[in-house]
Amino acid sequence: MKNLKLLGASKLFFLSIVMIAIFIIACNKSNIYQSQIDASINTIALRDDSIFKSFVNDITNYNEVVANAPSDSIMNQKEFENNFSNAVINNDPGSKKLIANTMGFLNEQDFWDMRNKMANKLYLLSKKYDLKKMSSEELTKIVTKQVSQSKIIFLSNKKINGLGGDAAAPNCLEYFKDCRDQASAQYAAEQVACVYAGQLGWTLPGLALFIACEAASNYHLYICDRTCRTNLKYCK
């Protein structure tokens, strides 16, 4: 009889454990599902946000200038990052001019004004939507879609002839636009990462991380645009 009571108690304990486990799993699934709903709502809100649309439009305009930057001599990444840091931290006139000209801006102040404008909009978006919760792939996809809906890139005959190859072919221009759109989207995603890289605040380590990240992001855009131009040049 005593053994039967112990067996009954064991069964009851086992059933209790099972029920608790089922409850925990159900709660976790509910939380995951709710998180997915929240993420979906957040994505839709971001996509329709006027500041986000303006930010993407700024990136598109920025990339237009960068795409036409001279390619005769290309700085390596370390040289670019050193000059970028020197321009931001020390306000060095030579470095500011070099970076602006390298990115295709004849007027150096236009480059730094554009940089500040985009950074301010990105800060507002990051604060409003907590963008660090979005994956780089997800953010890139949203920006790519928004960029593709913005103005279509048309190249003049002069620019086409300057690039060489069968650049006038519709498929070549489409590949070129897709390449440029992807470069713009990746730049936006990297800029978001830079905002959170500098979360230590305006301390020396936080500032150094932010500037280094920002410099690398701009260099990647510059190199990606050079790659897009090269691919267009040899497109058949």
pLDDT of residue 110 exceeding 70, the answer is yes
Kindly indicate the confidence band of residue 4, based on its pLDDT and cuts at 50, 70 and 90: very low
Q: How far apart are CA 224 and CA 143, in angstroms?
A: 16
Residue, of 204 and 59, whose pLDDT is higher? 59
Stretch 116-133: mean pLDDT: 84
Stretch 50-63: mean pLDDT: 88
Give pLDDT, residue 215: 92
pLDDT of residue 56 exceeding 50, the answer is yes
Report the alpha-carbon angle 92-94-97, nearest 5: 105
Residue, of 72 and 128, whose pLDDT is higher? 128
Q: How far apart are CA 206 and CA 39, in angstroms?
A: 28
- HSE at residue 128, side-chain half, CA atoms within 13 A, is 15
Give pLDDT, residue 41: 46
Average pLDDT, the chain: 74
Contact (CB, 8 A) for 147 and 34: no
Kindly indicate the confidence band of residue 180, based on its pLDDT and cuts at 50, 70 and 90: confident
Hey, how many other C-beta atoms are within 10 angstroms of the C-beta on 139? 22
Residue, of 44 and 54, whose pLDDT is higher? 54
Kindly indicate the confidence band of residue 79, based on its pLDDT and cuts at 50, 70 and 90: very high
Contact (CB, 8 A) for 218 and 158: no
Q: How far apart are CA 186 and CA 235, in angstroms?
A: 23
Residue, of 8 and 169, whose pLDDT is higher? 169
Kindly indicate the confidence band of residue 72, based on its pLDDT and cuts at 50, 70 and 90: low
Give pLDDT, residue 113: 95
Lowest mean pLDDT among 96-105, 152-161, 183-192, 223-232: 152-161
Kindly indicate the confidence band of residue 83, based on its pLDDT and cuts at 50, 70 and 90: very high
CA 4 to chain centre: 65
Residue, of 34 and 85, whose pLDDT is higher? 85
Burial label for 94, CB within 10 Å (0-12, 13-18, 19+), is exposed
Stretch 191-207: mean pLDDT: 68
Stretch 30-42: mean pLDDT: 44
DSSP state of 76: -
